[in-house]
Structure 1
Amino acid sequence: MRFCSIASGSSGNCIYVGSDNTHVLVDIGISGKKMETGLNSLELTGRDLDGILITHEHSDHIKGLGVISRKYGIPIYATAGTVDAMVRTNTLGKIPEGIFHEIQEDEPFMINDLKVNPFTIPHDAAQPVGYRLEHEGHSVGIATDLGKYNDYIIENLQGLDALLLEANHDIRMLQVGKYPYYLKQRILGDRGHLSNENAGRLLCRLLHDNLKAIFLGHLSRENNYEELAYETVCSEVTLGDNPYKSKDFRIQVAKRDFVSDVVTV
């Protein structure tokens, strides 16, 4: 099983997960050209894709979906609320008939030999989900666009081999930044985004001896920067109520414009 970030940030997100026989993307919030370039670096093309999993309908997660779906006819998996919201945005253009496959939270399904577990996330979208993907006893998780975390989310992210977790903003940078008040409140709210500190605290609840890689993703361009996200999360892990230090794990920031290291589990 292979796992990597093609792009991750408030301006666009696209994650690859695959086995030897199955290849899927989680979100296409980047241009089709950028997605193709990312796949090419993995020695794949759009024709190799077996499915596209959508977390929710915001543009930084679906920007390139219309172009790619028309070009390749790849099945798109999303909740009913997300499908409806995507269709109503009118930004995707004409989508091929029968391409949407509606999924339900907490109802696992298969894409060839990959098992996909969608789980509810608290975010200001129609019916958003995170994903846990499993293959031959190994699993990876993708959890971004979380206003908060709870026991249910922790349960869905337990025992992973690799994780991409949102570390969206530094609270102080956001509070003193140029965003209007309503937007600051939205980001800080229970259906907004996870701060660096809260990402670190959530991570403390998920650590175990066999967690091979942690990507910090969905960083805000205006209210965060890579070194700050990394240092804050590492500090929470090292000083947190857990038996580990941050150096015990492979923690890295998923880049906005570059394909990450490929993690094989």
Structure 2
Amino acid sequence: MSLRFSVLASGSTGNAIYVETNGQKLLIDAGLSGKKIEQCFQHIYISPRELNGILVTHEHSDHIKGVGILARRYNLPIYANAKTWNAMEHLIGEIPVEQRFHFEVGETKTFGDLDVESFGVSHDAAEPMFFTFQHGGRKLAVMTDTGYVSERMKGITKEANTFVFESNHDMDMLRMGKYPWNIKRRILGDEGHVSNVDAGLALADILTDKPANIYLAHLSLDNNMKELARMTVHQTLEEKGYEVGKQVKLFDTDPATPTALAVV
């Protein structure tokens, strides 16, 4: 009776995460085309027909591009908060009323044998939120798309066994890169994205003495590299007294290749 997951895709080109127990199969976001998400599922030998629903974090296209397509094709319920529904309705196409469900910020819903808690983050969307998943004494925390990590967010995600955690950009690469200043300012702002350094500092506050796996997610294609994100977070955690590679293990995610289906 284990809690398992795969980061199907993560990055500015599209995001989707699959979470399952023996009794439930959920998709968090669908920010790629329906065809690409189906191909991602093939990598982990799961059919979208087996899904019990789609949870939506916020209305940005890299999180909802395939939501409507998959929901209609496989008759899947969609769960999102009221403000996100209002913001994405015209973007995902018509959804039958019987497939539309509200999941508000700060709410905990039980899907069969899986408890899911939502929590708000700081991002330039209508009402962005992410989730923790608990089953059988194990906890998965998913948090990307936030400009900073508050004490409240740290408290909600604490004690997780596995984290899917934003490490969006290297600040020097971003500052010296080709983006116009207004985009750089947005990314660096409180409603933008967490940098590699800030990811490491936040995780150092969240982690406890128990072992943890960390999947570094939502890396910028233009302002980051997997090796750089991993090295920066590794160094930051080591400076804070964590043994990376033993007590804490770091993993990459990819915009096109799913991670192996893993136990939380």
Normalising to structure 1: TM-score of the pair? Answer: 0.95
1:226 maps to which residue?
A: 226
Residues 1:21 and 2:20 are matched in the alignment: no
| CA–CA separation in structure 2 for the residues paired with 1:196 and 1:244 | 16
Identity of aligned residues (%): 39
Alignment of 1:14-163 (within 5 A): 14-87=16-89, 90-163=90-163
Unaligned stretches of 5+ in structure 2?
none
What is the deviation of 1:244?
A: 1.4
On the 8 A contact 1:142/1:165 being kept in 2, the answer is yes
What is the deviation of 1:41?
A: 2.6
2:245 maps to which residue?
A: 247
On the 8 A contact 1:50/1:75 being kept in 2, the answer is yes
Residues 1:174 and 2:148 are matched in the alignment: no
| CA–CA separation in structure 2 for the residues paired with 1:136 and 1:201 | 29
1:258 maps to which residue?
A: 257
On the 8 A contact 1:168/1:219 being kept in 2, the answer is yes
**Deviation by residue 1:146-188 (Cα, 9 ceiling, x = unmatched):** 1011110000111011110000001111111111111111100
Q: 1:10 aligns with which of 9, 12, 21?
A: 12
What is the deviation of 1:93?
A: 2.1
What is the deviation of 1:96?
A: 2.5
Aligned-partner SS, 1:98:
helix
Distance change in 2, residues 1:211/1:17 (3 Å): farther
On the 8 A contact 1:213/1:263 being kept in 2, the answer is no
What is the deviation of 1:211?
A: 3.6
1:244 corresponds to which letter in structure 2? Y
Aligned-partner SS, 1:190:
coil
| CA–CA separation in structure 2 for the residues paired with 1:187 and 1:208 | 29
| CA–CA separation in structure 2 for the residues paired with 1:73 and 1:55 | 20
On the 8 A contact 2:17/2:29 being kept in 1, the answer is yes
- The aligned length equals 261
| CA–CA separation in structure 2 for the residues paired with 1:2 and 1:212 | 14
On the 8 A contact 1:159/1:211 being kept in 2, the answer is no
| CA–CA separation in structure 1 for the residues paired with 2:119 and 2:91 | 26
Unaligned stretches of 5+ in structure 1?
none
On the 8 A contact 1:69/1:96 being kept in 2, the answer is no
Residues 21-30 or 98-107, more deviating: 98-107
| CA–CA separation in structure 2 for the residues paired with 1:216 and 1:260 | 11
1:250 corresponds to which letter in structure 2? K
Computed over aligned residues only, the root mean square deviation of the Cα atoms, in angstroms, reads 1.2
Residues 103-112 or 115-124, more deviating: 103-112
**Deviation by residue 1:95-116 (Cα, 9 ceiling, x = unmatched):** 2233121112112011121111
What is the deviation of 1:43?
A: 2.4
On the 8 A contact 1:73/1:96 being kept in 2, the answer is no
Q: Which of structure 1's runs of 4+ aligned residues deviate more than 4 A?
A: none
What is the deviation of 1:239?
A: 0.9
| CA–CA separation in structure 1 for the residues paired with 2:42 and 2:110 | 25
Residues 169-178 or 40-49, more deviating: 40-49
What is the deviation of 1:2?
A: 0.3
On the 8 A contact 2:110/2:116 being kept in 1, the answer is yes
2:202 maps to which residue?
A: 202
